[in-house]
Structure 1
Amino acid sequence: MTVEKHLSTEGYDIFDLNAPHAKWLELREEAPVFQDPQTGYWIVTRHADVKAVFEDWNTFSSDNAQAPMRPMCDAGKQIMKDGGFTVYSGLSARVPPDHTRIRKIAQSAFGPRRFKAIQPRIEAIIDRHLNKIAIAGSCDFFREVAYDVPALVLFALMGIPDDDVPKVKDWAASRALLTWGNLSDEEQLPLAQKMVEYWSYCRNLVAARKETPGDDFPTDMVQAQANGADITDEEIAGVMYSVLFAGHETTTTLMSNAVITLMSNRHAWEAICADPSLIPKATEEVLRFEPSIVSWRRRAKTKAAIGGVPVPEGANILLVMGSGNRDKAVFENAETFDIHRDNARNHLSFGYGIHFCIGFQLAKLEFGIMLRELASRFPNMTMKPDQHIEYLHNISFRVPNKVMLDLGLEAA
């Protein structure tokens, strides 16, 4: 390693997402592909390289995408074994042909028809939450709005009672830490038990829809199976396990990071308030500039090269989409937030290739409605001063712990 590369990689902690952008910029310039001494992962930070690895699934497997960053301790494994935890992955860690088979069935059920039908429900959920915070005049947007809204939308799609929000959100947060965090053996144990409960919930959901069908996504999957689709009960439950996590947690983070970003870029916020037709472009720029998921994993199935750098067979790879999204080779003035940007949709925030996010349309729909309503109701809202925002300690999900807002109603 050259002196320049050593200096740029020194002190880099892949679990620390509090302020990663300056380091990512440095890495793109000086060490775009390097092996992290702390974890052994090969870190990839340039847009072209990240995209190329995502695209080449024959060389770079997704089978490590859901593996715990820190291997589960023996006691944790025993808890999960005793509890009947058998889930492998819904989609993101599967490889063809299983991935192709299961995704085709899931995509036919989790698509535009259901999303269009549920739009009035999305609007009603958002309306209810924004009415509530308007009474107080201020709020923690993360906890009081963004935390619940995407979960309630997803629950409507899945026919799950609203009262289950707290436990499902708790399971989702536990899964994020257990899979993408850096936990001690002692910290893993209670979360292992929560994953047992989470998996049991998903299996029971499938069994319930077989017994009593509804008008929802799990029923569509079960009925597809009954009509001859090649999918097992275990695989349907695995899809539920994935969707019940990714289908709301990432949108919670997207909404929260968007508010932080827009309040820090007042000109953009004022432009949206004046002209809501800018929302589709603003959505793509938020996804580029401050995505929910900033990195994802792959494994080299054979000796390979990434950006001209050789990586060995079996190498674990961390694709930093959050860095690639600010690559000046693709985006002019990449470190500037610009809602008028013409190519913002070239971001990598939903992945790329065969594992492209199955729920991207729902995420954009929810986010667009939320942004429209915030701009209409609270054009004068601002971040409360002197708040210290910290982000979840993990490799992938840039989740803030709070977003304190003054809604600016007295200025209206």
Structure 2
Amino acid sequence: MATTQDVTARSTGCPVDHHGYQPFDQHDPFPAYAELRREAPVMFDERIGYWVVTRYDDIKAVFADWETFSSENAQKPVRERGPQARKIMEDGGFTAYSGLSARVPPEHTRIREIVQREFTPRRYKTLEPFIRANVDVLLDKLLARPDRRADLFRDLAYDVPTITILTLLGADVGQIDTYKRWSDSRAAMTWGDLSDEEQVPHAHNLVEYWQECLALVARAHEEGGDDLISDLVRDQQDGAEITDHEIASIAYSLLFAGHETTTTLIANSLRVLLAHGDQWQALVEDPKRIKAAIEEVLRYSPSIVGWRRRALKDAEIGGVAIPAGADVLLLMGSANRDEAHFADGETFDIDRPNAREHLAFGYGIHYCLGNMLAKLQARIVLEQVVARAPQLTLEDPDAIGYRENLSFRIPLAVPVTWEA
């Protein structure tokens, strides 16, 4: 039924029933996702020019079939850049490309193999005490507030992964707000719905961001260091097939994905668990359950709710014909609640036996390279908070706003109070 309706609408211009789905509204998209799964699991949305896919099995199959559904559009701006923004970026020498997420084999395979060698358990083990000490410092400041009020997004989740990724890449940890500003601009320019005029300041930010990535690579050549960028430069000098531009592109990706989505994961973990007081208390009483709780947060409230692919040839998704060249939006935030795979999927349950089967980190050859680091940081934060501040109370969870965005579900604040 949905397929006939969509094809008819594309050919006649008749209005389409989007079943409540609003592409950029992330306040509470889940009822619309459920409606789409029931009524139009593969729907063409003429507002954004994408086929929208919502069921678990369909999305997993698309991720697995990289030869048919290419990742080449994963970093493409949803709204084309206007003439002013294009000129600013061209004049500023902006030539950044995806680190890995938008690359395809064999290029993707070559670069990922080199980078993956540097994401080792040894590196994570080295970082763990550093992350834990950083969390303690931030908690000390937070819990010392005389008014006993805080925003866990800005006062805790914001800094932890940013300091971690800047340290990992050998960047300046004193420039957290600068990197966050650049990251906000990247998100807005790639996944936002901006007018030509609104794009202008973000274009300037992206030029600065890319020039800093190039500078990090140049500095690694000149000075070396104990960081990921220096390691990749040494790999290159030892014969690894990776260029300076590709290393800078890895930095460009990690200086965004390496903290932005982890900030959201930490914020969502605290927000969702505190909103489910019985399950928060279960972690207070038994912190060993934190790892399982993080997997359930990733399922129930992922940082990334939608990711993109492009059909390289005529294909089918869920029995619906997809023409060659079509853009596809995979709503993992919907797949993760699909009751055909997750029983009672709209319910948050830290004891869910198959929570780890979520698609929050994608699936297949592009499965998120930094997933272990993201979960490590979320685990450390939760361990420290349940030990030191078990009495936190979330203020009015229904009033929390979310940034407008096609792919990322980012809370604007996680306000809490606590007793003396």
Instruction: Quickly name the TM-score band, shorter chain normalised.
Output: over 0.9
Kindly state the Cα deviation for residue 216 of structure 1 after the two structures are TM-superposed: 0.6
Kindly state the Cα deviation for residue 409 of structure 1 after the two structures are TM-superposed: 3.7
Give the fraction of aligned pairs with identical amino acids, expressed as a percent.
51
> Tell me, what secondary structure is at the counterpart of 2:101?
coil
> Which ranges of structure 1 fall in alignment gaps of 5 or more residues?
none
Aligned alpha-carbon RMSD (Å): 1.5
CA contact 2:21–2:33 (8 Å) conserved in 1: no
Q: Paired residue for 1:373, among 381, 384, 407?
A: 384
Q: Paired residue for 1:23, among 28, 32, 35?
A: 32
Residue 70, structure 1, aligned to residue 79, structure 2: yes
C-alpha distance 363-273 of structure 1, shift in aligned 2 (>3 A): same
Kindly state the Cα deviation for residue 373 of structure 1 after the two structures are TM-superposed: 0.8
Paired residue type of 1:108: R
Residue 127, structure 1, aligned to residue 136, structure 2: yes
CA contact 2:271–2:397 (8 Å) conserved in 1: no
Residue 293, structure 1, aligned to residue 304, structure 2: yes
Residue range with higher mean Cα deviation, 253-262 or 94-103: 253-262
Rounded to whole Å, the distance in 2 between the matches of 1:40 and 1:83 is 30
> Tell me, what secondary structure is at the counterpart of 1:102?
helix
Kindly state the Cα deviation for residue 4 of structure 1 after the two structures are TM-superposed: 9.3
Cα deviation, 1:347-392, whole Å, max 9, x if unaligned, reads 0000000000000000010000101111111111111248732111
How many residue pairs get aligned? The number is 409
Kindly state the Cα deviation for residue 159 of structure 1 after the two structures are TM-superposed: 1.8
CA contact 2:213–2:248 (8 Å) conserved in 1: yes
Rounded to whole Å, the distance in 2 between the matches of 1:76 and 1:349 is 32
Rounded to whole Å, the distance in 2 between the matches of 1:88 and 1:47 is 29
Counterpart of 1:87? 96
C-alpha distance 387-300 of structure 1, shift in aligned 2 (>3 A): closer
Cα deviation, 1:267-310, whole Å, max 9, x if unaligned, reads 11000000011011101000000010010000000111001110
Rounded to whole Å, the distance in 2 between the matches of 1:341 and 1:130 is 30
Rounded to whole Å, the distance in 1 between the matches of 2:104 and 2:38 is 32
> Tell me, what secondary structure is at the counterpart of 2:258?
helix
Rounded to whole Å, the distance in 2 between the matches of 1:41 and 1:61 is 14
Q: Tell me the TM-score normalized by structure 1.
A: 0.97
> Which ranges of structure 2 fall in alignment gaps of 5 or more residues?
7-14
CA contact 1:8–1:27 (8 Å) conserved in 2: no
Residue 284, structure 1, aligned to residue 262, structure 2: no
Residue 142, structure 1, aligned to residue 153, structure 2: yes
Q: Paired residue for 2:373, among 334, 357, 362?
A: 362
Kindly state the Cα deviation for residue 109 of structure 1 after the two structures are TM-superposed: 1.1
C-alpha distance 387-337 of structure 1, shift in aligned 2 (>3 A): closer
Kindly state the Cα deviation for residue 161 of structure 1 after the two structures are TM-superposed: 2.2
Alignment of 1:253-292 (within 5 A): 253-292=264-303
Counterpart of 2:190? 179
CA contact 1:8–1:23 (8 Å) conserved in 2: no
Counterpart of 2:18? 9
Rounded to whole Å, the distance in 1 between the matches of 2:55 and 2:157 is 30
Alignment of 1:230-379 (within 5 A): 230-379=241-390
Cα deviation, 1:134-180, whole Å, max 9, x if unaligned, reads 00122111111111111001112112222111100110011001100
C-alpha distance 39-385 of structure 1, shift in aligned 2 (>3 A): closer
Q: Tell me the TM-score normalized by structure 2.
A: 0.95
Kindly state the Cα deviation for residue 56 of structure 1 after the two structures are TM-superposed: 0.4
CA contact 2:71–2:103 (8 Å) conserved in 1: yes
Residue range with higher mean Cα deviation, 257-266 or 286-295: 257-266
Counterpart of 1:60? 69
Residue range with higher mean Cα deviation, 174-183 or 8-17: 8-17
Counterpart of 1:226? 237
CA contact 1:305–1:311 (8 Å) conserved in 2: yes
Rounded to whole Å, the distance in 1 between the matches of 2:38 and 2:142 is 44
Cα deviation, 1:213-247, whole Å, max 9, x if unaligned, reads 10011111000000000000000000000000000
Rounded to whole Å, the distance in 1 between the matches of 2:20 and 2:344 is 26
Residue 98, structure 1, aligned to residue 110, structure 2: no
